[in-house]
Amino acid sequence: MTDQNEEASPSVRIESVEDLVHVGDGFERLWTPHRMAYIVGEKPTDEAGTGCPFCTAPSRDDADGLIVYRGELCYVVMNLFPYNPGHVLVCPYRHVSLYLDLTDDETEEFTGLTKQALRALQSASEPHGFNLGMNQGAVAGAGVAAHLHQHIVPRWAGDMNFLPIVGQTKALPVLLEDTRAQIIANWPGAGQ
């Protein structure tokens, strides 16, 4: 080590940051800066309205709200932070937290939209399977516990690798808006 005031000997080379740019170190980097909006952004509140993303989305136009389909009592929206391409959510318009809180009419439409979304995703991207699920309450893993939503996640053989497990990063090969357009084009009854 040299003192700040001393010159480094000619045999010791001190690398500058500029020397390290583009130098391979055996690691590939997958930058996902869009995830920072989720990590450091405002968290949803329990109140209906502007604090709840599932209350806010339907008040926007479909493209800005990432809405795939609007029903009378429920709607389908792209997950802003998807686990896989095509990850959608089925949500009631009404701000309720539990499946048991749905009316019979809401339950019927909620189920019907789930089936339509499955058909659209199957047609749009031919996944090998699906994960369907609702997390009821924060303790069960619900990120937005106050507003009921059901996840529909398309799955393909081999779609899980080391990235989500070790790096807590998911590589998505398709842009969110391109996926949304593909699902809409394949929605049952679209184009008829």
**Phi/psi at 65 (5° precision):** -85, -5
Is residue 87 part of the annotated active site? The answer reads: no
User: Residue 97 corresponds to which tokens in the numbers above?
Assistant: 């937290």
d(CA 53, CA 43) in angstroms, rounded, equals 9
The neighbouring-strand residues paired with 90 are 76, 150
Q: Can you spell out the DSSP letters for 9-77? A: PTT--PPPHHHHTT---S------GGGHHHHHSPPPPSSSSTT-HHHHGGGS-HHHHTEEEE-SSEEEE
Provide the CA 110 distance to its chain's centre, in angstroms. Answer: 20
Name the catalytic one among 22, 128, 147, 149. 149
d(CA 132, CA 83) in angstroms, rounded, equals 12
* Residues with catalytic function: 149
